[in-house]
Amino acid sequence: MQHTQSFRMRPLAAILGMVFASTQPVLAEEVQTLPDVNVSGVKEQPITNGYVTKKSSTSTKTATDLIDIPQSITVFNKQQMKDQAVQNLGDIVRYTPGVGAAQGEGNRETFLFRGLASTADFFQDGVRDDTQYYRDLYNIERVEILKGPNGMIFGRGGAGGLINRVTKEANWDTLREIGLQYGSFDQARGTVDVNQAINDVAAFRLNAMYEDGNSYRDGVSLERKAINPTVTIKPSDKTKIVVGLEYFKDDRIADRGVASFGNRPVDTNRSTFFGNAKQSPTNTELTSFNVSFEHLFDNGVTLKNRTRYANYNKFYQNVFANGPVTAAGLVRIDAYNNATDRQNLINQTDLIFNWDTGLIKHESVVGVELGRQRTSNFRETGFFNNATTSVNVPLSDPTTNAPITWRQNGSDADNYVQNDTYAAYFQDQMKFNDQWSAIAGLRYDRFNTDFTNNRLATTNANHNIKTSDDLFSPRVGLIYKPVDNLSVYSSYTISYVPRAGEQLASLTAINKSFDPEKYNNVEVGVKWDYSPALSLTAAVYKLERNKIAVADPANPTTNQILVDGQQTKGVELGINGKLTDAWSVAGGYAYQDAEFTKTQPNATAANVIPAGADVAMVPRHTFSLWNRYDFNEVWGAALGVISRTEMYAAAPTVSTSVTLPGYVRLDAAVFAQVNKDLRVQLNIENLLNKDYYLYAHNNNNTTPGSPLAARLSVIANF
C-alpha cells in the first residue's frame, strides 16, 4: 500500500539561523519569513514497523500484505528476535500461538502445528530444508510461521503448518555489527554481520557465528559454528542475482530427559541425566549452495528462479531411559546410534504476471519445482558388556558406565533412498473491488521413491521398493475488507504426506500401495491493523487427518490398515506491535482440542488408543505475551509470560498415560541503548525459578525446564 507524505520546507535563512543560534544570535527583524511550501511525494509503506511485519511472499509467492492473506501467519522479525535474544526456533515458538515443541530425542527440532508433530516442515527462503537438526538464526532476517496445510505452495508435508526462515542477503547499506553474549552455564556466543557495497552493481555480506556452552543438565554441552557469505548482483534495475554459500556445524549431547513414575515424570533433580551423557553425542554438518535469479520483463512479467543444493551429514547416539521407574526403584537403559547422509537438489521457477478480466484484477503465479533427494541411513544397537541390549540402574544414580559395543541388531536400518519430485502449480489472486478479493490455486506433485534395504537379499520383497504418488493440493480463500485496515477471511486447503514422507521412515512393502495421509483444513479469521504499528488477529479452524496407517490388530507383525481418526479444532488470537509509542507487545492465546476421533488399534489391547483420547504434547490452553516498555531513548525493560495447561507426554492408551503438569513461567529483560552504535541487554529466563517440564518425546523421555538463567548481550556497530 502507498500513502502520500507531506512535509514543510523552511527558508534556508531560517534553517541556518536555528543551526547557529548557539553561537550567533539572530535578530528577528533580520530574517524574512516566507510562506510555507507544501511538497508531496509518494512513499512506500515499510515492510516492518517495530514488531509488526506488513508483507510476505512466502504464503503466496507474491509480495502480499499479511492482511490480504487468508491464513494464520506469525512473523518474528529482526527487532523481536533481537529483543528476546533468540538463538533457535525453539525460542521462537514459545511466543507463537497454536505451535508447540516436542523433545525430538534430543537431536532435532520437533514442533507441533495445530496438534500435528513434524520434524520435516522447515524451509529456507521458500525452499525445503529437509533434514533433522537444530537450525540457528545467526543469518536470518525473519522467521515466518504458517499455520494450516500448505501443500499448494510447498508440496508434500506442511500438514499442520511450517516454518520458513528468510535469510539476510547482501545489499547496498553499509553494516558492520558484532554481537557478543555470555550467560549462565558458561554459555558464550559471538556473531558477525558485515555488509558492504562492492560497486554500483555488486554487494557482499558475511554472517558468521560461534557458540560454546554447558547446560543445567549434567554432562550436556554444545558447540556450533557457521559462516555464510552472500553476493548480490544487480546488472540493471530489473535484474537481481543472489548467490550464497553456507557451512554450519553443530556438536552437542543428545539429552533424552528423565523417566516416568506412575502417571507423572519421576520426581528428581532437574539436572539428573539418565543413561550416559558422554556416550550420547550428536553432530550435524551442513554445506549448502543457494542461488536466486529475478528479472522483470518490459511487459510486467516477473521471472523468479531459485536453486538450492544442500549436503547434510548427521550422526547421533543415545544412551537413555527406555522404561518407567519400577516399584523397586530401577530404570531400564538402552542404547543405539544413527547416521544419515543426505543430499538435496531443488529448483523452483515462477512466472508472476498481472492481467484483467473486465473489472476483476488478477495477480497470478505459474510455477514448476524439480527436486532430487538422496539419503543413506545406518543404525546400530548398543550391547552393554557386549552381551545385552539393556541394563537396569537405580533411580538414586540412573547412569551407567558399562562398556558398550555397537553393532546392527534385528531390523536396524541400512537403507538407501532416492526421491524425485516433479511439481507444477497455478495460483490466482483476484481483486473484485476494494472490499472483495479471493485466492485460488492448485498444485500437482509427482513424488517417486526408490527405497533399498541393504540388509536384505535381492530376492526379498522388501529389498527394493518403488512407489509413486500423484498429489493434487488445492487452496481456496475469500477475503472481505469492510474498511482498508480490517479483513475477514475464510479458506479451505488440503495437503498430503506420502508413505515415504517425513524423513522417509515409514515405507514398507506392506504400505507402499497405501494412499498418502490426507489433511483438510477449514479456517475463518479476522485480521485488524489497528494502527500502522499494531496488528490483531483471530482465527477459528478445524483440521482433519485421514488415512493413517496403523498396525492391524488381527495381524500386527506383518499387516497394516488405514484408519481415519484425528482432528484438531481450535481458536487462535494474536497481538503484535505497539500499544503506545513506548509499549511493544507480541504473543497470543490458543485453544486446541486435538483428539483421536476413532479408536486406534494396536498390537495388544492394552496399547489401544481409545476414541476421544487427546493427542500427545498438545495442551488445551496456551497463552504467551512479551511486553517491552521504553522509559526513554536509553533505557527499556521487558516482561514475558508463558502459560500452558497440562498435556500428555504420549498418546494415552487403555493402560498407560503420563501427564506433564501445566505451568506459568516469567521471562524478563533490561535494555540499554548506550548510543546509536552500542546496545547492551540482559535477558532472564524463568525469572521466578519455576519447576516445570518443557516437553517430552514419549512417556519416559521428558525434559525438565531450565532454572533461572541469565544472558548478557552486547551489540556493537562500527
Angle at 531 between CA 528 and CA 536, to 5 degrees: 30
Contact predicate 478/489, CB 8 Å: yes
185, three cell numbers: 552455564
Quote the pTM value. Answer: 0.89
Q: Is the pLDDT of residue 607 over 60?
A: yes
Q: What is the pLDDT of residues 359-372, one digit of tens each?
A: 999 999 999 999 99
Residues 6+ apart with CB under 8 A from 64: 55, 56, 57, 429
SS3 432: coil
* 124 pLDDT tier (thresholds 50, 70, 90): very high
Q: Which of 475, 485, 483 is nearest to 438 (CA)?
A: 475
d(CA 481, CA 265): 49
Q: If you ran DSSP here, which 8-state letter would residue 687 be given?
A: T
Intervals of CATH 2.40.170.20 along the chain: 48-717
Residue in the structure block whose three cell numbers are 483420547: 613
Q: Is the pLDDT of residue 557 over 60?
A: no
Q: Is the pLDDT of residue 12 over 70?
A: no
Instruction: Give pLDDT, residue 11.
Output: 34
Q: Label residues 515-551 b or e (16+ Cβ within 10 Å = b).
A: ebbbbbbebebebbbeebbbbbbbbebebbbbbbbbb
Q: Which of 647, 661, 522, 686 is nearest to 100 (CA)?
A: 647
For residues 278-287, average pLDDT: 97
What backbone phi and psi angles, to 5 degrees, belong to 92? -65, -50
Residues 6+ apart with CB under 8 A from 574: 72, 74, 97, 535, 536, 537, 538, 587, 588
Q: Is the pLDDT of residue 16 over 80?
A: no
For a pLDDT cut of 90, what percent of the chain falls above it? Answer: 77
Range from 116-125, 436-445, 525-534, 598-607 carrying the lowest mean pLDDT? 598-607
d(CA 212, CA 222): 6
Q: What is the pLDDT of residues 632-657, one digit of tens each?
A: 999 999 999 999 999 999 888 888 89
397 burial type by CB count under 10 A (0-12 exposed, 13-18 middle, 19+ buried): exposed
183, three cell numbers: 550467560
Instruction: Give pLDDT, residue 407.
Output: 96
| E-strand stretches of 297-359 | 302-321, 330-357
Which CATH number is 48-717's, of 3.40.980.10, 2.40.170.20, 2.40.50.140, 1.10.3720.10?
Answer: 2.40.170.20
Contact predicate 160/116, CB 8 Å: yes
Q: Which of 591, 574, 650, 586 is nearest to 616 (CA)?
A: 650
Contact predicate 571/591, CB 8 Å: yes
Measure Cα distances from 584 to 51, 82, 142, 542, 568 in Å. 7, 13, 18, 31, 31
What backbone phi and psi angles, to 5 degrees, belong to 72? -75, 125
Q: Which of 471, 435, 465, 432 is nearest to 451 (CA)?
A: 465
Give the count of alpha carbons within 13 A of 87, CB side only.
21
Greater confidence (464 vs 349) lies with 349
* 31 pLDDT tier (thresholds 50, 70, 90): very low
Q: Which amino acid is at 156?
A: R
Greater confidence (684 vs 119) lies with 684
Q: Which amino acid is at 304?
A: K
Q: If you ran DSSP here, which 8-state letter would residue 388 be given?
A: B
705, three cell numbers: 525446564
* 510 pLDDT tier (thresholds 50, 70, 90): low
